[in-house]
Structure 1
Amino acid sequence: MPTQSVAVEQSRSVLTAIPGPASRALAERRRTVVSAAVGSSVPVWAARAGGAIVEDVDGNRLIDLGAGIAVTSVGASHPAVVAAVQEQVAAFTHTCFMVTPYESYVAVAEALSRVTPGEHEKHSVLVNSGAEAVENAVKIARRATGRPAVLVLDHAYHGRTNLTMAMTAKAMPYKTGFGPFAGEIYRVPASYPLRDPAGMTGEQAARRLIEVAERQVGTDQIAALVAEPILGEGGFLVPAPGFWTTLREWTTAHGIVLVADEVQSGFARTGAMFAIEHEGVVPDLVTTAKGIGGGMPLAAVTGRADLMDVVHGGGLGGTFGGNPVACAAALATIDVYEREDLPAAARAIEAQVTARLREVATRVPAIAEVRGRGAMLAIELVRPGTLEPDKAAAAAVAAACLAQGVLVLTCGSWGNVIRLLPPLVIEPALLDDALDVLSAALEGLAG
């Protein structure tokens, strides 16, 4: 198990009703000055965080099974990340790499070349967010192929910008009222083993996708297929075996750029450094963000050097892309993933969680499936005896967990999935405590 040194005690403690009075007071301040369009999953306000614990302004210590949506995978405020940020802030906070470059940007690109899938020569561009990384991947693919069309999967999530909203499947809350969206985006069916026809293999699911793409778009028009190896916001959907290998063969045969969106699934989260590695597939481009910086904002596109270099000079970049403080944090974070073997820690989390939850599922008819890889795990909830999604049940489970000091997130195209994204450094005993709370909440659905 990885070691950690954090200032926040690694135990759950509920001192007040949640939210407590201090959190409620801050919520009232927020109401007067923050746009109501900005949502928050839970009504507690953070004061400190360390490892797998968030301490709120009322002194409650909550077990964090969301990691800021897979961001603080090395644990909140990891000492190595904190030290790297402090050292860089004291040196300089910004020059803009496009004006006066600095070594840490190059060092991050070197690290990405080393850890991303494939032994080919790779180049990178650093940006600020996952959506920006996805947009740049599309720009690169279109420029390289001279084609306009981009394929995306049903149930996909790629971001909140105009282009990435078009690429995202779910309307509310991400797209409703914000159109018109960017064109030449085509949605094709994903592999969703729980809801696909009985017995459908991954290859058959891929052939279904290919038939739609060739009939509705045409391979000579397709620049890229952009897909999450495990669909994130769509419900942590793990494709059936053979889905990705069949798509890789097809994209290669037709000169289509294969982009693995690893924004949520990357950096040790699934038990491999990148989720696509489980599929035995090497993509042309990989987009990363979230877990790359240990909590600091950074994202990247990494891929085949010939593709990355096809864009004209000055065609990629941005004022804050590859900010030196974020680069320092990323270098420390990537070192932690490798030095502490956090992919192995994710696999241990998977074994611990799935053993508990699959046993609970035998007693709770509302649990249709426990699925995922590594520390990217999910519970899909339905009305018993059917596959009808039960969003209310997922919300009730999340609320029951929060009341007992455990933070869990929901997701899924119908909002009926509980997702678990614990920091990879969570201690087994702390995780067991959280699972006790989650199990009780799930068992409450059985009446």
Structure 2
Amino acid sequence: MLFIIFSFAESIYWPVFVVATAAAIVASQATITATFSIVKQALAHGCFPRVKVVYTSKKFAGQIYIPDINWILMILCIAVTAGFENQNQIGNAYGTAVVIVMLVTTFLMILIMILVWRCHWILVLAFTCLSLIVEFSYFFSVIFKVDQGGWVPLVIAGAFLVIMYVWHYGTLKRYEFEMHSKVSMAWILGLGPSLGLVRVPGIGLVYTELASGVPPIFSHFITNLPAIHSVVVFVCVKYLPVYTVPEEERFLVKRIGPKNYHIFRCVARYGYKDLHKKDDEFEKKLFDNLSTFVKLESMMEGCSDSDEYSLYGQETELLPRAGLLNNNGSTFSSNVEFTINSIDSIVQVRSPPPHVSNNTVRSSGQVSSQTEIDEVEFLNNCRDAGVVHILGNTVVIARRDSNFFKKLAVDYIYAFLRKICRENSVIFNVPHESLLNVGQIFSV
């Protein structure tokens, strides 16, 4: 009898082994996919250090691969497998994690039924009672297994919670500092066309997360250095939750201050599959859109009723198709979409038809495009002189009178996460030979 049982067990060993291996593969894929998705959502909300995200599908934004997280999962799996003494402890750790996930899902479901679906209170109460009776019975059973391996998922979850909270806190404080310390236009206008400094030939690309206003790193830069470039462009790179952004809609350009200041803002928009190409191609496209903006701006001024018209008016106008006047007084339409908004007007740059750029646009029969030609030539000369990429590096430190936990979180944990996460120069593909880091220290 024993021989028959042993023979039967030996005969089903390999089928069971294959099924168990396949089940482990399916479970591991589910774990990896869920982890990637959670990390991606945390990145979108600024709750996780910047890591590389690879999108593997053109149709579905959720199909992603994060190499750093994949390595962390591998190391944790090896550590858990090698660290436990027996299989029961691994089972206890897995059971604790599953039961806690079930409880969290039920509580979130109750909130959705109340706040989103607005279900009747009797239905919510019935769902809550039926679900929690079953899940709390499992929960109280795994509590006694915490010291037998169930502590592992709790420790891992606590570590990730600390990382996410500290990173979110530091990032939020940095953004609040930039928002509250951004320079006003009155301060810029008070410096005069030379900004109170020597304007050296060249173009300075100042990278900032602010889509409006002048970032504080600019004032910090010109306060400590005696010179600034003849043309300054504040570059704000935004990544949108779409597959790709068409080339003709990628750049939004606006002017900051009067023309003789030569200060612009450019918002570069990328989809999740678009790659921020190497600096040469990015600079070329940015400069082409900048030149097109100058030409369109001159034509818009030429279409005004008087010579006193300015793009820096306080009223907002929307011109989906701008009708321009040519030399004989007839109207033609350019394939341009404009948005003029307050003092730093924004223009979505699209190349005009060839016959538009070759015409001299006049306002009241007097204004020519000579100013436009001079400024485009000035931009060309500055570009030939060289382009410098200026990145801000705001360091957050805790005040001296802060408590021990705040100093530990800000001065050590957040500082360590800042060192190991991807730098902006890597994300923007900025070459080191033309990179200038402007550092600031901010106490919280």
Which structure carries more relative contact order (alpha carbon 8 Å, separation 6+)? Answer: 1
Q: Which has the larger radius of gyration?
A: 2
Greater share of residues in helix:
2
**Shorter-chain TM-score above 0.5:** no
TM-score norm. by structure 2 comes to 0.26
